Amino acid sequence: MNSKPLLTLAVPLSLVLGLLGVFPAAVALAGETELVTEEGVIAGEMTIDFQTRVLRDATGKLAEGSPAQSAKDIYTFTLDVAKTTEFAGTITRLPRLFSRVLGREMQAAELYYDVTLSVRNPANLAQKVRVGKWVGTVPIDEKGVYNLAGGSEKGSPLRMAIETVGKAEGFTENFAGRLAGKAPEKKGLVPYTFTRVIGGKKINLQIQNSDPMRFDNIVLAAGPAKIYPRTTVNGRLDYDYETGNWLTDGIRFRYSLEGTDVEDVMTGSIKWVEDPNRDQNGKGRYEFNLRFNEDKHQSATSESDVFGGGTSDEEAFFFVDNSVPSLTGTVEYVDTMVSGSEAPASSKITYKLNANKLTKQQIVNFFKLWMICIGPTNDE
């Protein structure tokens, strides 16, 4: 881990201590319980270099059609989360490679995280201080299962490594659990029916080729600040191969905050919308419509608001209702395709996600989980 000093003369120690939550308890508690309604709560840029789709094996030693052994997919980003936290760095994905003749594994599949964590001064967002790293290795087995606690022979486990600054004690905490990503092949896809109550009406949406990404007791490590606690995640996020949409009927986040056990249930959809000229300009976007604990919040939207003008059940399923706690907005893509293919060779991505009556814990928990899913959610 980088051991460069955290403080310079330009950054007062009092500022650092304030950002890390060591002001009086009343101030810290206010920050923990405040509801955020604001645009751009997850905002910034990401680029993806899909080397595995461009650099092909030329040695003849690997299975036919394999990427070159040096090829990797590189996700580079600077993203501001909940306004006062910055995640900046790279996530690298290595593919599993096999020998041509005997089919022996020549390279294990894994993700490697190298992300710098910084906090910003709420009174002046231009001021920021580096506080640690999100770093480590996640092995991926032949079935596409990510072992978040696994590490590897060459790399240490995935973790939040927060450094000590002044009176704010540092800590290191590992991630854990298993993520079953999108299937490497489209075998065994099954129909699945999602049910929601929209505008007071119960509607169903059946997906014929549903590929569930499952979260099995995933542990999101605490940090970057201690107001973001260790969180356990269970549930599923399904990919629809026919539309490119993601849907969930319940992802559960469980954590303890100020001695109180909390469970947030996230439901909703992430809709893929292609630009009419995508073949020429490579543009497309995800439209987010994720709700938190919608069963506990009375919607101000009526059935006539949703279904007026001949709206179908399927269109209504993606209806955005800002009267309930939600994460909305877009993640916009500009893709450059592999020659002769519909798969991107590279992507430029802009995050513009908005919060409506969400806590900072809900926002940061979602972001951590989304970064864990960075491979499956960006494949095509």
Specify the higher pLDDT residue, 11 or 235. 235
- Has residue 195 got a pLDDT over 60? yes
* 237 strand-pairing partners: 213
The residue among 152, 118, 162 whose CA lies nearest residue 15 is 118
Structure tokens at 17: 């201590």
User: Per-residue confidence at 303, pLDDT binned at 50, 70, 90?
Assistant: low
290 domain residue, yes or no: yes
Total tally of structural domains belonging to the chain: 1
Of the listed ranges 1-5, 205-209, 292-296, the least confidently predicted one is 1-5
Residue 5 lies in a domain: no
Q: What is the average per-residue pLDDT within 52-76? A: 95
> Given the structure tokens 């970064």, which residue do they identify?
371
Per-residue pLDDT band for 3 (boundaries 50, 70, 90) equals very low
Model confidence band, residue 256 (pLDDT cutoffs 50, 70, 90):
very high
pLDDT band at 159 (very low <50, low <70, confident <90, very high): very high
Identify the three-state secondary structure at position 16: helix
Instruction: Count how many residues are written for the chain.
Output: 380
Q: Answer yes or no: is 341 within a domain.
A: yes
Amino acid 97 reads L
Instruction: Determine the pLDDT at residue 8.
Output: 36
Res 184: pLDDT: 64
**Weakest mean pLDDT among 268-282, 320-334, 355-369:** 320-334
Structural domain includes residue 4: no
3 is a domain residue = no
Of 96-100, 266-270, 308-312, the one with minimum mean pLDDT is 308-312
Work out the percent of the chain whose per-residue pLDDT is above 70: 83
121 and 15 Cβ atoms separated by less than 8 Å: yes
Cα(372)–Cα(149) distance, integer angstroms: 12
Question: Does residue 19 register a pLDDT over 60?
Answer: no
* DSSP reduced 3-state for 304: helix
Share of the chain above pLDDT 90, in %: 64
- Yes or no: say if 292 and 266 are a contact pair by the CB < 8 Å rule: yes
* Strand 159-162 versus strand 171-174 pairing type: antiparallel
| 7 lies in some domain | no
pLDDT in tens, 34-56: 899 999 999 999 999 999 999 99
Provide the b/e sequence for 329-343 (b: ≥16 CB within 10 Å).
bbbbbbbebeeeeee
For residue 2, name the pLDDT band (cuts at 50, 70, 90): very low
Confidence of residue 112 (pLDDT cuts 50, 70, 90): very high
Does residue 1 lie within any of the structural domains?
no
Does 183 map to a domain? yes
Report the pLDDT value the prediction gives residue 17, as an integer from 0 to 100. 45
Q: What is the pTM of this model?
A: 0.88
What range does the domain containing 60 cover?
A: 13-378
pLDDT at 166: 66
